[in-house]
Amino acid sequence: MTPAPDPEEAQAAIEYCYAQGWSDGLPLVPASQPLVAKFLATTSKDPDEVIGELEQVGRNCTVYLAAINAAMAGCLPEYFPVVLAAFDALMRERAARGGGWQSTSGPAPMIVVNGPVRHELGFNTQGGAFGPGFRPNATVARAIGLIVRNAFGIRPHVLEQATQGLPGRWSICLAENEEESPWPPFAVDGGLQPGTSAVSATLLRTCEFVDNRHTPDPGQVLWDVADTISRTGSLIFRDTSAGVVFCPEHAQMLADAGFSKQDVQAWLIEHCGRTGADLRRAGKNGLRGIARFADADTSQDDTFSRILPSPRHIPIVVAGARNAAISMVVRIFGEWSGTAGPVGVSS
């Protein structure tokens, strides 16, 4: 039998990592050359290849640095291609390349995993989709947070200026429940073939549940979703973007009533919005360019303003257990690029 590791050595190594300022607040796995070599062996990419650059802070991330951070986050080496695909997906998002990581809104990446890799690596595709409890989901998301902190140097209270941040900032990695979804996988919306192991990502400002389990009428469920999407609190520009992570029960109810994903998106584009009077009450009825401001003008009080400009502004994912009709509205920071990337293939 292998002797148990020396806890005092382990504790000293963990404290060393804290002392360097590398931690997100939780203990890190100290990364060593042999461990990181196992990560690098899972990809054909050169360790020195730059996979992300943040021009405004003059920093970049190489495959090697990503591997160290993934190891420290608690990933197994075989998760590394998913970490790379997730990071790649995020770097395609305009908000993440711009000032998103520094923003007062403190946005969280939402990573969506599709395809066979979900089961190969043991991602949770069922209940508790937003976590916690499952190593691949938890550590892939955490790896991204550590890359931003360490490789890009965006640290809280310094270059990161989140006013309150949001729960789950470095922990949202959903594996879509494709088996119980009535619709094509999310990665197909991102331009890939069904059955591809793929990762999509965007930035969120928060999530809000829609608990609607007492109606058999899909129209009522959609009204409930629309009401949640249409809150004034999240409206800062003329348009907004809000995804829906449907639970399997809601998705199946909608599909049984004949709604494709595109039908749901079209319904929400039509019905999400507020009247001028509602917006004025919240000081958001005026428009200066695309930014909302408080305007005393009451002439638009009776006008209904739609807020979702296109289907790409309402990404739809199916996740969670089939045990209750509870879905989640996710509020997107900026807008989703509309792309998915395959796992293990250079972009």
Partner 1 sequence: MPYPILDPTGTTATRTTRPPRARRRRDLRGATVGLLVNTKQNAAPFLDEVGRLLIAKHGATGTMARTKVNFAAPAPDDLVKEMTTGCDVIITGIGDCGSCSASAVADGIAFEAAGLPAAAICSDAFRVTADAMAELRGAPGYRYATTPHPVAVLTADQVKERAARVLDDVMNLLTEPE
Site for partner 1 in 290-309 (CB under 8 A): 291, 293
What are the start-end ranges of the E strands in 148-235? 173-175, 198-211
Q: Is 41 in the site for partner 1 (CB under 8 A)?
A: no
- Contact between 181 and partner 1 per CB under 8 A: no
Among 56, 70, 170, smallest CA distance to 110 is for 170
Q: Is 161 in the site for partner 1 (CB under 8 A)?
A: yes
Helix spans in 180-260 (H):
186-189, 218-229, 248-256
Interface with partner 1 in residues 325-344 (CB under 8 A)? none
Q: Which two tokens stand for residue 135?
A: 């190593």
Q: Does 234 bind partner 1 (CB under 8 A)?
A: no
User: Strand, helix or coil at 54?
Assistant: strand
Decide if residue 102 touches partner 1 (CB under 8 A). yes
Three-state secondary structure call for residue 288:
strand
153 touches 59 (CB < 8 A): yes
Q: Which two tokens stand for residue 293?
A: 């401001």
Structure tokens at 335: 């807008």
Site membership for partner 1, residue 151 (CB under 8 A): yes
The single residue among 62, 126, 232, 275 that binds partner 1, judged by CB under 8 A, is: 62
Cis, peptide link before residue 81, omega less than 30° from 0:
no
Stretch that binds partner 1, among 60-68, 80-88, 249-257, 300-308 (CB under 8 A): 60-68
Closest distance to partner 1 from the beta carbon of 8 (Å): 13
**34 in contact with partner 1 (CB under 8 A):** yes
| Integer CA distances (angstroms), 323 to 142, 159, 178, 180, 250, in order | 28, 42, 16, 12, 11
User: 104-133: which residues touch partner 1 (CB under 8 A)?
Assistant: 104
Q: Which residues bind partner 1 (CB under 8 A)?
A: 13, 16-17, 20, 22, 30-34, 36, 55-62, 64-65, 68-69, 72, 98-100, 102-104, 146, 150-151, 153, 157-162, 289, 291, 293
